[in-house]
Amino acid sequence: MNSLHGLLEVLRADHHRDRVVPATGFTATLTTLTAAAMAFLIVFALSLSFAADRLSARWATALEGTATIRISAPQDQLAIQVERSLAILSETAGIETARALNIEEQQALLAPWFGPDIPLADLPVPKLIAITEMDGGFDAQGLRLRLAAEVPGAVLDDHMRWRKPLVRAAQRLTLLGAFSILIIALTSGAMVMLAARAALAANAQVIAVLRLIGATDTYIVAAFVRRFAMRAFVGSCLGVVGGGLILLFLPSETTTASILTGLRLQGVDWIWLFMIPPALAAVAFIATRFAANRVLGELS
């Protein structure tokens, strides 16, 4: 109840009270700049988080529902083994399609490493069979055992071992971004608190005068808190605008095939930027209130 009253007191614009604390000063500029820097950092931590989130979602779905069989065998047996594999696959429950990649497709896959003109036909390159699963998936372990018995050169890869660590890494990155935002918010709070303590010390006379003439703690605290919350708000607006502009001019996703995604925010994610200034103002509010209440508690 008491803190609600305090909050309402802070939100209430009071021309007279707002002038009680000197408007200018080193700490004022410093608080605004700090808030701007912090907001700027939060913009990038946010975009990192969102990018990582998109990445993990993409990696999770991109290879989902597909598997590959790789057949390495002497050249003369290759065709037979591919045929045998396809036959086994057609008998396996849960497999939608199975198709051996042709020379051109394999060439396209290898082109990034060997260049476009490799004579693939002359090389002992393994053959690949691309599999798409039905919704329920198939029994990978059973298929692996059957292939081992009948097609010695075949290796089934259901992509799980690639996907899992990638998705996990991307999720960790998302978490790291969120954690960074938390740390930045806490640091902002600490910095505002230090600045507020300095301001309270510098304005000891103002506080003494206010106490003498019968100002309640709520009034005195509100005078300082409002100042600092406003500075944090203005500063973080500047930081968000700066960070946002940089993000806006970052290259978007290069190509759709790329597994990497741009840092640039997408769609509704931009809305999050508008929440930074109020959030930092709230952090400044809490920090200043805490500092002011402590300082006042020590006075008679």
Which of 218, 236, 261, 288 touches other proteins (CB under 8 A)? 218
Helix residue ranges, H only, the chain: 2-11, 15-20, 26-62, 75-91, 103-114, 140-150, 160-202, 204-212, 217-248, 271-297
Q: Minimum Å distance from CB 4 to other proteins?
A: 15
| Nearest CB to other proteins, comparing residues 213 and 259 | 213
Report the residue from 75, 216, 252, 254 that binds other proteins according to the rule CB under 8 A.
216
Rule CB under 8 A: say whether 268 interacts with other proteins: no
| Cα–Cα–Cα angle for 251, 257, 259, rounded to 5 degrees | 75
* Nearest CA among 281, 261, 257 for reference residue 269: 261
Specify the residue, 71 or 210, whose C-beta has the smaller distance to other proteins: 210
Helix (H, G, I), strand (E, B) or coil at 155: strand
Q: Which stretch binds other proteins (CB under 8 A): 129-137, 143-151, 212-220, 275-283?
A: 212-220
Q: Is the Cβ–Cβ distance between 251 and 218 less than 8 Å? A: no
Q: Which is nearer to other proteins, 219 or 270 (CB)?
A: 219
Contact 219, 17 (CB under 8 A): yes
Q: What is the 8-class DSSP label of residue 93?
A: T
Measured CA distances, 62 to 8, 54, 278 (Å): 51, 12, 37
Residue 247: which region, alpha, beta or left (left: phi > 0; alpha: psi -120 to 50)?
Answer: alpha
Task: Out of 93, 160, 208, 250, point to the residue binding other proteins (CB under 8 A).
Answer: 208
Q: Alpha-carbon distance 288 to 224, whole Å?
A: 7
The piece of 45-53, 125-133, 162-170, 210-218 that touches other proteins (CB under 8 A) is 210-218
Q: Any contact of residue 217 with other proteins (CB under 8 A)?
A: yes
20 binds other proteins (CB under 8 A): yes
- Give the residue ranges of DSSP H helices in 203-270: 204-212, 217-248
Least Å distance between CB 291 and other proteins? 17
295 binds other proteins (CB under 8 A): no
If binding is defined by CB under 8 A, does position 206 make contact with other proteins?
Answer: yes
Q: How far is the CB of 206 from other proteins (least distance, A)?
A: 5
Q: Does 161 bind other proteins (CB under 8 A)?
A: no
Burial of 196 (0-12, 13-18, 19+ CB in 10 A): buried
Regarding 211 and contact with other proteins (CB under 8 A), the answer is yes
- Closest contact distance (angstroms) between CB of 17 and other proteins is 7
Binding of residue 221 to other proteins (CB under 8 A): no
The region of 9-17, 92-100, 172-180, 280-288 touching other proteins under the rule CB under 8 A is 9-17
At closest approach, how far in Å is the CB of 205 from other proteins?
Answer: 5
Which one of the spans 62-70, 174-182, 209-217, 225-233 is the region binding other proteins (CB under 8 A)? 209-217
Q: Does residue number 205 form part of the binding site for other proteins (CB under 8 A)?
A: yes
Q: Are 264 and 247 in contact (CB under 8 A)?
A: yes
Nearer to other proteins, 256 or 300 (CB): 300
What CA–CA distance (Å, rounded) separates 244 from 44?
A: 9
Q: In a 3-state reduction of DSSP, which class is residue 14?
A: coil
CA-closest candidate to residue 167, choices 48, 254, 62? 62
Residues that bind other proteins (CB under 8 A): 14, 16-17, 19-20, 22-23, 205-206, 208-219, 296, 300
